[in-house]
Chains A and B, each alone.
Chain A
Amino acid sequence: MSDLNTQAVARYKNNFLKEVEERVEDGHWVKMCMQCGVCAGSCPLGPAWQHSPQKIFMMIRAGKREEVLSSDSMWMCTSCYNCIVRCPRKLPITHIMHGLANYAHRLDMAPKGQPTREIARLFWNNLVKTGRVNELKFSLAMYFKDGVVQGVKNAMAMQGIGLGLMKAKRLNPMEIVGGHTCKGKADIQKIVAKAREIEDRRRGLA
């Protein structure tokens, strides 16, 4: 168990709903779900989920902390916002799912090697480093996240597309040695670090 997780368990005991309300983005909305299931029926990746948002909310109320935080369900969100606009109770479901994913990730309870979790990490790191996202570096990192051998395989599989994009001037091989950056990237790193510090303090994660 990560230190953060041990601390959270000690603090909230069996009241997982309260933990979610205090620590998860828009978590205070969870109690307002009326279990209609429209979100579950509206999700494009619905069939791929272990637990629909409806079930996740019910599990939170039932105190199923371990199951919720280690679920891969939140990581299936494509951010299409269908659930948000259809929810009759106006729950910001997409944001809650993102918030739960982020919290599970912070506590290191999220599934290890979950592909979306991995690309989310790579994407953000890429962003904070230069201020802008470098698509080539990001893609390569994605292909090589499971090691060199798998990476070469992945990259080879997508070679045709890559060459096509290069030909169409929509992928620049020179980006590997530089590419787009913000002049204020040091500033960005500072404000992001500060923001996290403030947020962690507010959520009791510091």
Chain B
Amino acid sequence: MAKKQYAFYPGCSSQKGASAANFLTSLQVMTQKLDIQLNEIPDWNCCGASIGYGEGGELPRLVINARNLAIAEKELPGQDMVSGCPACWLATRETHERLAEHSSLLAETNEALREAGLNLNNTVRARHMTEVLIEDIGWEGMKAPVIKPLEGLKIAGYVGCQTNRPFGIAGESFENPKYLDKMIETVGADAVKYDQKVTCCGGALAFSEPEKSQKQIRDIVESAYDSGADMIVTPCQLCQANVEIYQSEINKKQGTKFSMPVVYYTQLMSIAYGGSAAEAGLNGQLIKADKLEKIAGK
């Protein structure tokens, strides 16, 4: 079967030396095993993330996303745009939908894009990597390459916000999405039930409102512990960073003894598909995912 090709939008946090660099590492193993070819969008720019609104306003925010869409439309014709980062996906999809709905906004956007010699017909569909796995590869397809099932691992699937709301994965409920649990089970691990599956980690407010965010993070980690989870898995770069990084802060301030590894679904798949710990980017963990490394070393 021919490789599936996508216009790839990695996003700032996945760049080399950035906070989600290990996500990109594991993504490469996973896509290779699943015969997915990701073609990076030339000279892509930042999406504005969840905090871009404050200074950016509406149209500037839309045009920076429209620039990525316009480049993809021109340089990688016919390919869906795929992002690994929920914030990038959300911003791009929102742009695509708003411009599709309001022709006046599309006209204004193109007026601005002309400054850079670009034009957008708004034909590119913006998708998230998990959508591609579920809809294009399918559950059987995801299971096929598993050679080291993650047997015995108990994992809390932490969906968080932005792959889930406001768009979500087709067919899933906002209050209790199941796709991540299903992914965990597809690679042979057990998905534990816990009640903070879609709780917000605080997002960008981890910086500006550390106490409030850390309360959220504490709830999430505590609930994962209560359910007997060995680790948390997430599809979101910001969730991963917040929930992993701040555990030491919370321990320091509140006397907890949190040491809950937080990994990406791509890392689970990379290991299950036979990748090494390094290929799965496990060396990028602040809190080592020992049980996963052990399976990788088998």
Contacts and interface: CB of A to CB of B under 8 A. Distances in A.
Interface of A: 25, 44-45, 48, 75-76, 78-82, 84-86, 94, 98-99, 101-102, 105-106, 115-121, 123-125, 127, 131-133, 135, 139, 142, 160-161, 164-165, 168-172, 174-175, 179-180, 182-184, 187-188, 190-196, 198-199, 202
A115 B208 contact: yes
A116 B54 contact: yes
A195 B63 contact: yes
Contacts of B162: 79-81
Contacts of A165: 19, 245, 286
Interface string B149-163: 000000000000110
B19 A79 contact: no
B139 interface: no
A6 B102 CA distance: 31
A170 B209 contact: no
Contacts of B56: 102, 124, 192
A13 B283 CA distance: 60
B74 interface: no
Contact of A80 (B22, B46, B109, B203): B203
Given A105-B54, A160-B248, A194-B111, A116 B208 contact: yes
A84 B165 contact: yes
A170 B112 CA distance: 35
Nearest to A162: B245
A72 B125 CA distance: 36
Interface of B: 12-13, 15-22, 43-46, 48-60, 62-64, 67, 108-109, 111-118, 161-162, 165-166, 168, 174, 199-200, 202-205, 207-209, 212-213, 216, 245-246, 248-249, 283-286
A183 B286 CA distance: 32
B17 A123 contact: no
Nearest to A199: B59
Contacts of A170: 17-22, 284
Contacts of B108: 195, 198-199, 202
Contact of A132 (B45, B63, B161, B248): B45
A44 B199 contact: yes
Contacts of B59: 195-196, 198-199
B53 A120 contact: yes
Contact of A85 (B46, B51, B165): B165
Contacts of A194: 63, 111-112, 114-115
Given A184-B43, A195-B59, A198-B112, A78 B12 contact: no
Given A78-B205, A170-B22, A127 B48 contact: yes
Nearest to B205: A78
Given A127-B48, A198-B112, 11 more contacts: A45-B205, A78-B161, A78-B200, A80-B203, A85-B165, A98-B54, A102-B55, A170-B19, A170-B22, A174-B17, A184-B67
A115, A127, A202 pick with most chain B CB within 10 angstroms: A127
A124 B57 CA distance: 10
Nearest to B48: A127
Contacts of B205: 45, 76, 78, 116
A132 B15 contact: yes
B51 A119 contact: yes
A116 to B, nearest CB: 4
Given A79-B204, A82-B165, A195 B112 contact: yes
A52 B225 CA distance: 32
Given A120-B53, A133-B49, A199-B58, A188 B67 contact: yes
Nearest to B288: A168
A93 to B, nearest CB: 10
A84 B167 CA distance: 10
Contacts of A117: 54
A109 to B, nearest CB: 13
A157 to B, nearest CB: 9
B113 A191 contact: yes
